[in-house]
Amino acid sequence: MSPLTTARRSGTGTMVLIALVAVGMVVGIAAIFFWVPTANCLVPGVADGQPCFDARPDYIQHIFYMHVPIAYVAYLAFGVVLVGSLAYLKTGRRRWDILAHASAEIGVLFTGLCLLTGMLWGRPRWGTFWTWDETLTLTFVLFLIYVGYLLFRGLAADPTRGARIAAVIGIFGFVDVPLVHFSMVWWRTLHPAEVVINPAGPQLPASELITMLFLLVVYTGLYVALMLLRTRLGRAEEALAEAEAALEERPPPRAHVAATP
């Protein structure tokens, strides 16, 4: 099979995945707006069906069906950066580096979205867009670490060494996360407790749980689709750089005498 056919075939698979994700997104959004009950508080300790802090229905809470999967994709992406970085340092294979780089970009994007959706919820619920809560601060630090990682990759003078150093940064960035987490927890915290992963079993009604899990799957699909596109772009960039390098090494072609009229 020629490389072109392989590329085309993997392209078809990606398109199918993107289509599935698009349909899933529409279904998920419909479920968020029309199926999941409103006026049901996610804050622990508030009885089922009771409003959170005021008498109005808690429409704002619906943003969690987007916020939670986005946050999960961000963590997943940074986990993949760790795996890709370790594998690249061990094997020296370029594709691991391309994987880590792609995943870091998607991770930064989703961390940014996670901060944004969190702020949109925080403003009406906490009365402020931003507060120095531990989870918020941790997410922001993660954002900074991986923006630094991407910045480093963009400025590296030598691509091979740059990739190796970026891998070291990617690994340490991830190892640092639990440490930053504890330093934030001991500072102070305000973030709602986890209600899905809970020792006493999920604390959500069925429709909410199904919607949440469904969107987690959809977002995982979105992540995979973005990764497929981005790694393909990375390989293409690499092939282009190689071709350019080969072109420079070749002696310049003899100038043909072009008869200009």
Nearest-Å Rg of the Cα atoms of the chain is: 23
Asked if residue 150 binds other proteins (CB under 8 A), the reply is no
Quick one: which segment of 96-104, 109-117, 144-152, 240-248 binds other proteins (CB under 8 A)? 144-152
| Closest to other proteins by CB, 94 or 164 | 164
According to DSSP, residue 254 is labeled P
| Closest to other proteins by CB, 34 or 186 | 186
8 Å CB contact between 188 and 132: yes
Q: For residue 218, what are the CA distances in angstroms to 18, 28, 211? A: 10, 8, 10
# binding residues, other proteins (CB under 8 A): 30
Quick one: which segment of 22-30, 139-147, 219-227, 232-240 binds other proteins (CB under 8 A)? 139-147
In the list 15, 16, 30, 151, the residue contacting other proteins (rule: CB under 8 A) is 151
Which 63-122 positions form the footprint of other proteins (CB under 8 A)?
89
In the list 18, 39, 165, 195, the residue contacting other proteins (rule: CB under 8 A) is 165
Asked if residue 127 binds other proteins (CB under 8 A), the reply is no
Minimum CB separation from other proteins for residue 151, in Å?
A: 6
DSSP codes joined into one string, 104-155:
HHHHHHHHHHHHHHHHHHHHHHHSSS----HHHHHHHHHHHHHHHHHHHHHH
User: Residue 26 is encoded by which pair of tokens?
Assistant: 């529409």
- Residue 165 three-state SS: helix
In the list 15, 19, 168, 190, the residue contacting other proteins (rule: CB under 8 A) is 168
